[in-house]
């Protein structure tokens, strides 16, 4: 994927506090257009708070976020977020969930095309209640991407899925990212998932960036690849606070 030389997403001295608890501390980060960045860390480290700030759902206490050169002050049409639970409207059929926010008839046709791209064109007239967990997340992904976001935020979107469905979703997300060339920021507890999908992995520890590691392996990435395993172990070592790092083969 081609990446430009200018930062598309910039965090400058970003801080966030809730009362006396400081969740994010003077965080600086740049993300280029077209990158796929995964954010990992222990529970409560500030991952989801960071994502909500990027989405404009939370305001930072200190510093700022700039998207395409403009300060983020609220929700932005260039940004879409996908949550763990899908958040589909049960009283709307699948195709109408995907078409939420689309007004023109030609735009609504795009909803059907997007359902085809996520492999659910045959479920367009179904109700969300009859879908499996993986199918619901495919609908949620289609609903996000039908708006052609420049930045897609993924908040533990696969955490509730079984292992096989997660692998299928990994492939789907990666293929759509390569095809549509959006920038992605994924929050996940699963280090293997981060390494499988991301071009870069960010580790947050106690509200600060403790690791910023580029992943240079070609796609698709297999867990039985020794470099994959060493990369995962290296990140886990940092999460667990170990000082020894495994040397990665180039």
Q: Are residues 135 and 184 in the same domain?
A: no
Of all residues in the chain, the percent with pLDDT exceeding 70 is: 94
Model confidence pTM above 0.85 = yes
Print the domain residue range for 125: 88-148
pLDDT 10s digits, 167-180 = 899 999 999 999 99
Q: Are residues 155 and 236 in the same domain?
A: yes
pLDDT 10s digits, 184-226 = 999 999 999 999 999 999 999 988 999 999 998 999 898 889 9
More confident residue, 157 or 227: 227
Q: Is the pLDDT of residue 72 over 70?
A: yes
Domain boundary, last residue among 148, 169, 188: 148
Q: Are residues 143 and 155 in the same domain?
A: no
Instruction: Please state the domain count of the chain.
Output: 2
Residue 83 placed within a domain: no
Residue 106 placed within a domain: yes
Q: Are residues 114 and 15 in the same domain?
A: no
What's the CATH code of the domain at 57?
A: 3.40.50.300
Q: Are residues 110 and 61 in the same domain?
A: no
Q: Is the pLDDT of residue 250 over 80?
A: no
Per-residue pLDDT band at 42 (split at 50, 70, 90): confident
Q: Is the pLDDT of residue 2 over 60?
A: no
Q: Are residues 127 and 107 in the same domain?
A: yes
pLDDT 10s digits, 46-70 = 898 999 999 999 999 999 999 998 8
Q: Are residues 219 and 184 in the same domain?
A: yes
Residue 34 placed within a domain: yes
Q: Are residues 60 and 175 in the same domain?
A: yes
Q: Hey, what are 75's tokens? A: 């929700």
Q: Are residues 127 and 163 in the same domain?
A: no
Q: Is the pLDDT of residue 1 over 80?
A: no
Q: Is the pLDDT of residue 91 over 90?
A: yes
Domain boundary, last residue among 118, 148, 178: 148
Q: Are residues 65 and 180 in the same domain?
A: yes
Question: What pLDDT, on the 0 to 100 scale, is given for residue 77?
Answer: 86
Question: What pLDDT, on the 0 to 100 scale, is given for residue 6?
Answer: 61
Q: Are residues 111 and 223 in the same domain?
A: no
Q: Are residues 131 and 245 in the same domain?
A: no
């Amino acid at each position: 994927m081609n990446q430009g030389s200018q930062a598309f997403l910039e965090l400058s001295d970003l801080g966030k506090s809730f009362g006396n608890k400081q969740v994010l501390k003077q965080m600086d980060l740049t993300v280029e257009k077209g990158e796929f960045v995964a954010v990992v860390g222990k529970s409560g480290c500030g991952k989801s708070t960071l994502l909500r700030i990027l989405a404009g759902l939370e305001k930072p206490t200190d510093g700022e976020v700039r998207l395409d050169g403009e300060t983020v002050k609220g929700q932005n049409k260039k940004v879409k977020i996908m949550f763990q639970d899908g958040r589909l409207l049960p009283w709307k059929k699948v195709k109408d969930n995907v078409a939420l926010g689309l007004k023109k008839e030609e735009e609504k046709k795009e909803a059907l095309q997007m359902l085809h791209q996520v492999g659910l064109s045959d479920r367009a007239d179904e109700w969300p209640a009859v879908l499996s967990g993986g199918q619901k997340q495919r609908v949620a992904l289609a609903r996000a991407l039908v708006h052609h976001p420049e930045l897609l935020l993924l908040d533990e979107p696969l955490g509730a899925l079984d292992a096989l469905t997660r692998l299928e979703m990994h492939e789907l997300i990666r293929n759509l990212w390569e095809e549509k060339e959006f920038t992605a920021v994924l929050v996940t507890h699963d280090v293997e998932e981060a390494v499988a999908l991301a071009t870069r992995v960010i580790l947050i520890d106690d509200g600060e960036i403790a690791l910023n590691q580029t992943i240079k392996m070609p796609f698709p990435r297999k867990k039985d690849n020794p470099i994959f395993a060493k990369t995962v172990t290296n990140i886990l070592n940092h999460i667990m606070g170990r000082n020894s790092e495994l040397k990665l083969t180039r």
